Structure 1
Amino acid sequence: MYGKISSLWISLLMSLILFCGEIHVRAYLGINWGRMATQKFVPSMVVDLLLQNGIPELRLFQPSFNVLDAFAETNIGLGITLQENFLRNIVEQKQMDDYIHERVKVYTDQGVKFRYVYVGNEPFTKSLYMKKQFNGTIRYLKMARDALDKFNLPDVKATTPHFTDILTNVSKPSEGDFREDIKGKMLEFLDCINRTGAPLFIHIFPIYSVNLYGFDVDFAFFDNKSKFKVVDGKNTYTNLFAFIYDTLVSALAKAGYGDMEIVVGQIGWPTDGYASASEKNAERFYRGLLQYIAKKEGTPLRPNRDIDMYLLGLTDENMVVTDYGPYQRHWGIYKHDGVPKYKIDFTLQDRDIKPSVAKGTVRMPNRWCVFDGKTDHNETLVLKDYDFACAKSDCSAFGAGATCDHLSFTEKVSYAYNMLYQMGNQDMKKCKLLGATLTTNNPSTPDCDFPIEILTAEVVNSGSGLTKKY
């Protein structure tokens, strides 16, 4: 009798939870984890960080088997990216079916909670679209959806993230529209995801947009301390996020999809590589952003709404391309050694805390490869080795106004030499450069850190011939 009563109450409780869930689903805050770095967190370490910091959602760019293994039975919502180098090899539906089976279906059965399959990434970005490098997004999107349906995975949504340059360069949100050269493709794309109930993912990089639009940089922050604002009819915009978001809302309305769900797939503030990129500004930006979404005020064109978003990102990536600027390698909230750079409360409670430190990283010995600074070296040959070291490592901290922009010639050469040495796991062969020498004395300056990397056994791959470039 007791068992029957308990079962009845459990059934009623579950029904109530499901009923309430249909009425309102709380907005979520996720994070991106890209692994284009020489030293990477191991997957189990990332799972621990997400659980300790209360981060319920993660977007993966390289869905390797060992990474997916770590997320079984964690209840962390996962999105995986089908990157261009993989999609280019897809000729027939069976290839997509096989991939979705091995990367999604198999792991779903093992308790991995998939939410999204991202088909490509920013395919209509001007730099790519103008070169006609990749133009099969909608076809692959349909193939991915067909594969998910074949394996009875209706709750896993297939969509494609876009960069804000799909929008025309407008001065007011009400003028928002899609670029003329991609408008036909965007309409076809919107129809495709609308039919399947998938949201539109948009990437917003405020540090880039304020420069593009010629706005005061303070407009990028939610506690805008400048007098700069944008008045658009009865609506006034005091921060860039609402401005961009409503520009997209206007574009969607003009396309006939005024109620389409929008998810912010990437948003953040870098900590180096640019004049305004700093840990102080990143902390300021995130505090304002998280306060903003916690209040659930929405935007002037979509008031009183939750806004789902994924922060960019978990760690720095010292191997990503820098098409838009050196700061692209410095989005990380965490340093490579697992120490958070600044205070941020992922739970949206606005606590004045730093997130948990990653457990399990092993810092390499305190050794630096530096330039001895002797004047008898051939300067042309030194410059040649300096350029070589930067090309093979990461000198993005030399960006205009960045932390290491002020270094002397000798110090810049030392920094470049050391980055090559560290990114090569302190391999002595990487320090065979003109005038290079090893030292145990930290050559860092008050503003410029000469990093020591961490040991790593993690390799970014997928275990599959089709995706070996992941």
Structure 2
Amino acid sequence: MYKTISLLWVRLLMSLIFLFGEVHVSAFLGITWGRSSAQTFVPSMVVDLLLQNGISDMRIFQPSLNVLDAFANTDIAITITLQPNYLANVKEQKHIDNFLYERVKSYVDKGVKFRYVYVGNEPFLKVTTSKKRVNADVHFLNMTRYALDSFNFPDIKVTTPHFTDCLLNVTKPSEGDFREDIKEKMIEMIDYIDKTGGPFVLNIFPIYTVSRYGFDVEFSFFDNKSKFKIVDGNNIYKNVFTFLYDTLVSALTKAGYGQMEIVIGQIGWPTDGYMSASEENAERFYRGLFQYMAKKKGTPLRPNRDISMYVISLTDENTNSLESGAYMRHWGIYKLDGKPKYKIDFTMQDRETKPTAARGIVKMPKRWCVFDGKTDHNKTLVVQDYEYACDDSDCSAFGAGASCDNLSFVQQVSYAYNMRYQMENQNQQKCNLIGAMLTTVNPSTPNCDFPIEILTAEFVDGGSLLTKRF
């Protein structure tokens, strides 16, 4: 009898909780793994890093079969993306069905745990100069939800990540709203995602936001050392994260979805390629962010909330797009040689420790391709080869405020030559440039590292239907 009464009370309590909307899924701290790089970590190595550092979630951009295989029976929750170039080839429901059968259903059966399927990526992005791509809309969201339901996966949620420029450029969070040119489509998308139980996913790049809004760079950090702050009625904002989060809350509230769950899809700090992009500032940013998250303070408009997020990114991506800035290639917490760049504690206990180094990394031989600096070369031809080498590799460490912005002309050419040589696995033919020579003497400077690439057996594609096993 007592068991029956207790069971009735439990059911009544659960009914009340559901009725008043007080059920909150436990927050998580995950990390993204983008593989737009000449060389990448092998998937088993990545799984080891996540387990050793206590990271529970990962977003992968290219759901390759060998990557998914590595996460079987690990209890690491995976988020995958149906990329725009994949969606461009989707004509019928069976295309989504077949994809999710192969990439989700088959791997759930193998013990892979999935959290979200992102459909498209930042569909209303304003800053890109690329040709318009087929991206997410309610049609593709519905097809994806239908497929997952047909496989009986109601707990795998469907949503689409958005960049902060989907919001108006406001001076106070209470003014927050979605851009007028996208509002109708955005609200249609939000309505569908909310009704099917998915969260609103927002990607935040603080280093971009402070530049776009003209804020003091100190506003990026939780230990803001400036007097810059934003006063909005009774609410005071001393960092860009709470400012943007509550701007989104205001926008959702005005659209009629004030209680919709919010997940931060990407947030972090780059270590090169831009003013203030450094390892020291990245460590400072993450330390402040994690201290803040551990306190579960929420924001002025959503106090006492535990916020889920993915930090960006596991490694640098030296072939990533430069459309938004050179720093887009330098989000990595790890260098491509497997060494962590700075101290960061994913347990959010504020320990003074670096993450575990990757095991099994094998560097190429200590050889560099450099410019000999002789003055009898035709300088016009040297400059042409220098520009060609940069275009064919990665010179994102150049530019104002970047680590290699003070190199001499000879050093700049050497850096470009070497990057092309290294990113092609030290192929000697790639060093066949005006004045180029191979050397075993490290040409690095105190501030500018001339890297040696790593050996890799991993092949990464971009999700094209031309490659069937992507």
TM-score by length of 2: 0.94
Aligned equivalent of 1:89: 89
Question: Alignment RMSD, CA only?
Answer: 2.1
Aligned equivalent of 1:459: 459
Aligned equivalent of 2:150: 150
Normalized per residue, which structure has more helix? 1
1:287 corresponds to 2:301: no
Structure 1 residue matching 2:397: 3-state secondary structure? helix
The answer as to whether partners of 1:368 and 1:418 remain within 8 angstroms in 2 is yes
Aligned equivalent of 2:314: 314
Aligned equivalent of 2:328: 328
Sequence identity (%): 69
Q: What's the offset of the Cα at 1:466?
A: 5.7
Deviations 1:396-416 (A, max 9, x none): 000211000110000000000
What is the identity, as a one-letter code, of the residue corresponding to 2:117? V
Q: What's the offset of the Cα at 1:119?
A: 0.5
Aligned equivalent of 1:178: 178
Q: What's the offset of the Cα at 1:24?
A: 5.5
Aligned equivalent of 1:235: 235
Q: What's the offset of the Cα at 1:138?
A: 1.9
The answer as to whether partners of 1:39 and 1:456 remain within 8 angstroms in 2 is yes
The answer as to whether partners of 1:33 and 1:58 remain within 8 angstroms in 2 is yes
Aligned equivalent of 1:53: 53
Deviations 1:84-143 (A, max 9, x none): 111000000001000010000000011000111111110100145996433552211111
Aligned equivalent of 2:277: 277
* Cα 1:180/1:245, change in 2 over 3 Å: same
* Cα 1:130/1:363, change in 2 over 3 Å: closer
The answer as to whether partners of 1:128 and 1:134 remain within 8 angstroms in 2 is no
* Cα 1:368/1:466, change in 2 over 3 Å: closer
Structure 2 residue matching 1:459: 3-state secondary structure? coil
Aligned equivalent of 2:36: 36
Aligned equivalent of 1:246: 246
Aligned equivalent of 1:427: 427
Aligned equivalent of 2:450: 450
The answer as to whether partners of 1:122 and 1:162 remain within 8 angstroms in 2 is yes
Aligned equivalent of 1:374: 374
- Aligned mates of 2:140, 2:285 — CA distance in 1: 36
- Aligned mates of 2:177, 2:206 — CA distance in 1: 19
* Cα 1:455/1:342, change in 2 over 3 Å: same
- Aligned mates of 2:467, 2:258 — CA distance in 1: 37
- 1:181-196 correspondence runs (5 A): 181-196=181-196
The answer as to whether partners of 1:119 and 1:158 remain within 8 angstroms in 2 is yes
What is the identity, as a one-letter code, of the residue corresponding to 1:224? N
- Aligned mates of 1:234, 1:286 — CA distance in 2: 27
- Aligned mates of 2:136, 2:44 — CA distance in 1: 35
- Aligned mates of 2:296, 2:216 — CA distance in 1: 26
Aligned equivalent of 2:165: 165
- Aligned mates of 2:129, 2:190 — CA distance in 1: 17
- Aligned mates of 1:315, 1:88 — CA distance in 2: 28
Deviations 1:324-382 (A, max 9, x none): 11000000000001000000000111100000000011011110000000000000000
1:352 corresponds to 2:352: yes
Aligned equivalent of 1:386: 386
Aligned length: 456
- Aligned mates of 1:462, 1:93 — CA distance in 2: 22
Structure 2 residue matching 1:126: 3-state secondary structure? coil
Q: What's the offset of the Cα at 1:317?
A: 0.2
What is the identity, as a one-letter code, of the residue corresponding to 1:50? L
Q: What's the offset of the Cα at 1:195?
A: 1.1
- Aligned mates of 1:261, 1:136 — CA distance in 2: 19
Question: Unaligned stretches of 5+ in structure 2?
Answer: 1-6
Aligned equivalent of 1:110: 110
Q: What's the offset of the Cα at 1:417?
A: 0.2
Q: What's the offset of the Cα at 1:214?
A: 0.3
- Aligned mates of 1:201, 1:24 — CA distance in 2: 16
* Cα 1:147/1:313, change in 2 over 3 Å: same
- Aligned mates of 1:124, 1:24 — CA distance in 2: 28
Q: What's the offset of the Cα at 1:419?
A: 0.2
The answer as to whether partners of 1:395 and 1:416 remain within 8 angstroms in 2 is yes
- Aligned mates of 1:175, 1:23 — CA distance in 2: 28
Structure 2 residue matching 1:396: 3-state secondary structure? coil
- 1:102-141 correspondence runs (5 A): 102-127=102-127, 132-134=132-134, 136-141=136-141
The answer as to whether partners of 1:76 and 1:113 remain within 8 angstroms in 2 is yes
Aligned equivalent of 2:101: 101
Aligned equivalent of 1:5: none
TM-score by length of 1: 0.94
Aligned equivalent of 1:258: 258
* Cα 1:282/1:115, change in 2 over 3 Å: same
Aligned equivalent of 2:3: none
Deviations 1:158-203 (A, max 9, x none): 1100000000000000000000000001010001101101001100
Structure 2 residue matching 1:398: 3-state secondary structure? coil
Q: What's the offset of the Cα at 1:213?
A: 0.4
* Cα 1:232/1:155, change in 2 over 3 Å: same
Deviations 1:230-252 (A, max 9, x none): 00000000000000000000000
- Aligned mates of 1:130, 1:444 — CA distance in 2: 35
Q: What's the offset of the Cα at 1:266?
A: 0.1
The answer as to whether partners of 1:115 and 1:156 remain within 8 angstroms in 2 is yes
The answer as to whether partners of 1:65 and 1:463 remain within 8 angstroms in 2 is no
- Aligned mates of 1:136, 1:330 — CA distance in 2: 27
- Aligned mates of 1:445, 1:50 — CA distance in 2: 33
Aligned equivalent of 2:407: 407
The answer as to whether partners of 1:85 and 1:467 remain within 8 angstroms in 2 is no
1:364 corresponds to 2:347: no
